[in-house]
């Protein structure tokens, strides 16, 4: 199991949201560059960065900061939030991002999604963020009528190799991941499934590993010291 620590950015600050609510943002670190280095020093193999401003506006609001983080990083960085056209994908990859995560555009612009998957392959992941089983977009502020499992199966047919699944109701709550949803995804979809949302401690990591999940994005539990990166692989 590879544990991927998360850095969520609003106005250049590291924050955590509760159930995706921007009004419930808590600052968890002052300096993103220092936080990235702490993760690297702690043994992280990859870092997950979300441009929360970009997720709302549809623009790469934090691109200069993320480019600076990539330039200092000795490990791969994946980025999501506000990536809605090929130009933005290319700008992030040119800046040194190893994997871009498509969210809103993946469901709203299938032509762009297909082109990105075809052109960039494993460098493109798709974030499937669900609220009560329905896919949410635009910084989780809009909920569609699209079922998360059906959408994930469609992504597989389009050639997606990696899906990052988040149950929004679990995100930031420290209530444990939605193991049932991850079990269904792992059983019915052949893509790599990355877990996100609600992970509290190593028992949750082990439960996900037992299902067959190989990567998990962890935020609050790492910032609160409940999960440590060094020696965390099992």
Query: Domain residue spans in the chain?
Result: 2-223
What does residue 185 show for φ and ψ, rounded to 5 degrees? Answer: -60, -45
pLDDT score at 232: 43
| Counts for the chain of helices (H) and strands (E), in that order | 10, 12
Q: How many whole angstroms separate alpha carbon 128 and alpha carbon 152?
A: 7
CA angle 77, 82, 83 (to 5 degrees): 65
The yes-or-no answer on residue 8 being catalytic is: yes
CA angle 137, 147, 188 (to 5 degrees): 120
**Intervals of the chain under pLDDT 50:** 231-234
Q: Which tokens in the block code for residue 88?
A: 């933005």
Report the length, in residues, of the chain. 234
Residues 186, 213 contacting (CB under 8 angstroms): yes
pLDDT score at 156: 97
The CATH classification number of 2-223 equals: 3.20.20.70
pLDDT score at 174: 74
Q: Which tokens in the block code for residue 205?
A: 């990591």
The one catalytic residue among 8, 51, 53, 171: 8
* Bridge partners (DSSP) listed for residue 230: none
pLDDT score at 199: 94
Q: Which tokens in the block code for residue 195?
A: 């877990």
pLDDT score at 143: 87
Q: How many whole angstroms separate alpha carbon 234 and alpha carbon 232?
A: 6
pLDDT score at 25: 63
pLDDT score at 29: 73
pLDDT score at 231: 44
pLDDT score at 202: 95
> What stretches of 73-177 show up as alpha helix (H) in DSSP?
86-94, 104-108, 110-120, 148-158
What is the distance of C-alpha 4 from the center of its chain? 9
Q: How many whole angstroms separate alpha carbon 5 and alpha carbon 108?
A: 28
CA angle 140, 120, 11 (to 5 degrees): 40
The one catalytic residue among 53, 129, 167, 171: 129
What is the distance of C-alpha 25 from the center of its chain? 17
Backbone Cα Rg of the chain: 16
The yes-or-no answer on residue 171 being catalytic is: no
Q: How many whole angstroms separate alpha carbon 160 and alpha carbon 158?
A: 6
Q: Which tokens in the block code for residue 113?
A: 């999604």
Residues 219, 5 contacting (CB under 8 angstroms): yes
Dmax of the chain from CA atoms? 42
């Amino acid at each position: 199991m590879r544990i991927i620590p998360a850095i969520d950015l609003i106005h250049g600050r590291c924050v955590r949201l509760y159930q995706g609510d921007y009004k419930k943002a808590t600052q968890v670190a002052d300096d993103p560059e220092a936080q990235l280095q702490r993760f690297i020093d702690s043994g992280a193999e990859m870092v997950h960065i979300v441009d929360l401003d970009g997720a709302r506006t549809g623009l790469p609001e934090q691109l200069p900061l993320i480019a600076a983080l990539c330039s200092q990083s000795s490990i791969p960085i994946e980025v999501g939030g506000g990536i809605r056209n090929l130009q933005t994908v290319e700008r992030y990859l040119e800046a040194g991002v190893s994997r871009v995560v498509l969210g809103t555009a993946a469901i709203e612009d299938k032509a762009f999604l297909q082109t990105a998957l075809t052109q960039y392959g494993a460098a493109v992941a798709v974030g499937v963020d669900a609220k009560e089983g329905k896919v949410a977009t635009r910084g989780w502020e809009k909920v569609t009528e699209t079922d998360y499992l059906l959408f994930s199966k469609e992504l597989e047919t389009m050639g997606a190799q990696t899906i990052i699944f988040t149950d929004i109701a679990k995100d930031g709550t420290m209530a444990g991941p939605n193991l049932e949803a991850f079990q269904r995804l792992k059983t019915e979809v052949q893509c790599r499934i990355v877990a996100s949302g609600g992970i509290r401690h190593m028992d949750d990591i082990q439960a996900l590993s037992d299902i067959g999940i190989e990567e998990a994005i962890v935020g609050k539990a790492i910032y609160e010291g409940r999960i440590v990166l060094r020696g965390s692989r099992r």
